[in-house]
């Protein structure tokens, strides 16, 4: 391009070169999927230990059939935003079914988890009167940080899962209201918040809790209902995604009927976007039917996580405080994480190197994300590969 438009190309070229030098440039890779196996354009087939399809439902025939059924019945798209004419009867029915599963008065579907986290905090701060101190876990997802810090709101971070630090911030806050914002299972470290202790602390200070259960819903809690289900009525707002353990797409926010009705009126992420399409509704409807019956899969997934953590630690790598199906293999430098990714690819597994700014500098890692769809033989092969990882400091690994 020439003229002013060319200025963007020149700036992009310089920025990409800088990312290359830092080992932080990303590229999109295309795959053809067959269950847990991914075929690359060059013909190689890799076992997927990178995605968030924790229960293998994305490839479940019943889920696929229900999504196709809803598409045939209602069309490819919803045609409008929720408040115009995009709310189908099916939206209301599936939302009621989801709320019953979660044990909340109401639930509301939102396009994506990022969209939910990026827009809900501002609507909730407005509801609490505007002068609100949002206290956010330091390792919360980028979407929560965007929602809390990118909207001109008053927000402060507390040290990761450090309830003593959170209590200090709650006690010293001068705002008229406070709200605690955190994930339940953290997407990069695979550890979990102590929800009971956090709720006790928040209750003492009169602070409602916004809980992101994206990586917990479907996997943890009674019948996969998330850990908030252990504390009925105490978590003010829960957000979860439907593209992970539920195998579909989209997100939800759940809480009281009054709160959901307010969000329909004041949350930009609901008001100013097209309603989720019928296929999303069908996939969720089918997933809700089977989710309570998957306790064996959840138990197997938990055991698999324990075995993988043991293998990774035995090879000399830090797995942070992981206690779930997400296991980081912390390498340190960006190139070291890329080297680990290449080693696993050579062994037939896809696990992606996660680098800053997604994770803090010096903590680049391989992120293993497990699924109950992995059979015992494949898990055994993965454990064999992990046990033989080169010691830190050899073959490019610091």
The Cα diameter of the chain in Å comes to 62
**Which member of 48, 183, 191, 297 is catalytic?**
183
Does residue 141 carry a catalytic annotation?
yes
Nearest to 242 by CA among 367, 113, 143: 113
**Which member of 48, 78, 160, 244 is catalytic?**
244
Does residue 244 carry a catalytic annotation?
yes
Give CA–CA dist 169/133, Å, rounded: 9
Tokens of residue 128, six digits: 């609490």
Residue 49 · residue 307 · CB < 8 Å? no
Nearest to 338 by CA among 397, 393, 394, 253: 397
Give CA–CA dist 167/109, Å, rounded: 33
Total residues belonging to the chain = 398
Does residue 91 carry a catalytic annotation?
no
Tokens of residue 36, six digits: 């847990």
Does residue 52 carry a catalytic annotation?
yes
**Which member of 60, 95, 133, 141 is catalytic?**
141
Tokens of residue 379, six digits: 């898990």
CA pseudo-torsion sign 140, 142, 147, 153: positive
In this structure, how many other beta carbons lie within 10 angstroms of the beta carbon of residue 23? Answer: 16
Nearest to 342 by CA among 395, 381, 398: 395
- 16 burial type by CB count under 10 A (0-12 exposed, 13-18 middle, 19+ buried): exposed
State the DSSP code for 81: B
Does residue 183 carry a catalytic annotation?
yes
In the numeric block, the tokens 């990069």 are attached to 188
Does residue 256 carry a catalytic annotation?
no
Tell me how far CA of residue 65 lies from CA of 152, 188, 355, in angstroms. Answer: 44, 32, 37
Does residue 161 carry a catalytic annotation?
no
Q: Which residues, listed in sequence order, are joined to residue 330 by a DSSP beta bridge?
A: 318, 365
Tokens of residue 198, six digits: 């956090």
CA 125 to chain centre: 23
- 265 burial type by CB count under 10 A (0-12 exposed, 13-18 middle, 19+ buried): exposed
- Please enumerate in sequence order all residues whose Cβ is within 8 A of that of 288, keeping only pairs 6 or more positions apart, or say none: 94, 97, 98, 101
**Which member of 215, 285, 371, 372 is catalytic?**
215
**Which member of 78, 117, 187, 369 is catalytic?**
187
Residue 277 · residue 142 · CB < 8 Å? no
Catalytic residues: 52, 141, 183, 187, 212, 215, 244
């Amino acid at each position: 391009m020439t003229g002013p438009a060319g200025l963007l190309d020149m700036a992009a070229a310089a920025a990409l070169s800088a990312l290359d030098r830092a080992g932080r440039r990303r590229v999109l890779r295309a795959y053809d999927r067959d269950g847990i196996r991914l075929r690359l354009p060059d013909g190689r087939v890799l076992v997927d230990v990178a995605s968030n399809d924790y229960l293998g439902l994305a490839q479940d025939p019943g889920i696929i059939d229900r999504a196709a059924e809803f598409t045939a019945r209602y069309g490819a798209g919803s045609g409008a935003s929720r408040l115009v004419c995009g709310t189908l009867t099916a939206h209301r029915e599936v939302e009621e079914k989801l709320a019953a599963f979660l044990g909340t008065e109401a639930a509301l579907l939102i396009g994506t988890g990022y969209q939910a986290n990026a827009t809900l905090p501002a609507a909730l701060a407005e509801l609490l009167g505007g002068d609100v101190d949002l206290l956010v876990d330091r390792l919360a997802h980028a979407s929560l940080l965007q929602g809390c810090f990118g909207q001109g709101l008053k927000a402060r971070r507390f040290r990761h899962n450090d309830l003593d630090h959170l209590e200090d911030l709650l006690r010293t806050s001068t705002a008229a209201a406070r709200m605690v914002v955190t994930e339940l299972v953290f997407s990069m470290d695979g550890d979990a918040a102590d929800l009971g202790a956090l709720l006790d602390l928040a209750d003492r200070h009169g602070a409602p809790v916004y809980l992101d259960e994206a990586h917990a819903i479907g996997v943890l809690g009674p019948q996969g209902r998330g850990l908030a289900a252990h504390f009925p009525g105490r978590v003010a707002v829960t957000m979860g995604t439907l593209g992970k353990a539920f195998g579909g797409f989209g997100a939800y926010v759940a809480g009281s009927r009054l709160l959901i009705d307010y969000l329909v009126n004041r949350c930009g992420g609901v008001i100013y976007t097209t309603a989720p399409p019928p296929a999303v509704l069908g996939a969720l409807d089918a997933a809700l039917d089977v989710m309570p019956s998957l306790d064996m899969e959840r138990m197997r997934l938990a055991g698999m996580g324990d075995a993988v953590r043991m293998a990774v630690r035995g090879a000399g790598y830090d797995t942070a405080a992981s206690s779930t199906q997400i296991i980081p293999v912390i390498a340190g430098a960006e190139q070291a994480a890329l080297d680990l990714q290449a080693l696993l690819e050579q062994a037939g597994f896809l696990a992606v190197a996660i680098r800053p700014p997604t994770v803090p500098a010096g903590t680049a890692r391989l992120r293993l994300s497990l699924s109950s769809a992995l059979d015992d033989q494949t898990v055994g092969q993965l454990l064999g590969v992990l046990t033989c990882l080169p010691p830190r400091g050899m073959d490019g690994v610091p």
